Amino acid sequence: MAKFPEAEARLIKGKFICRRCKSVMRTDTRRVVDGTVKCRRCNNHDFKAKRKK
């Protein structure tokens, strides 16, 4: 979908997917690493960065 790396990085940055319920969260990378962010649906703390395969 993204046409060039900068745009793709911008789209991915700040978007994380809950590993348990697959809901997308918009948050800061540091907050995910710190574990301060949690899924609003299932309270899971485990997220992965949004990337296309």
Sheet of strand 47-49, all strands in order from the earlier edge strand to the far edge: 24-26, 15-18, 47-49
Residues 6+ apart with CB under 8 A from 13: 29
- Least gap, CB of 53 to Zn ion (angstroms): 20
Asked if residue 37 binds Zn ion (CB under 5 A), the reply is no
Instruction: Confirm or reject binding of residue 15 to Zn ion (CB under 5 A).
Output: no
Binding status of residue 50 toward Zn ion by CB under 5 A: no
For Zn ion, the closer of residues 15 and 20 by Cβ is 20
CA distance 23 to 50: 11
Residues in contact with Zn ion by the rule CB under 5 A: 18, 20-21, 39, 41-42, 44
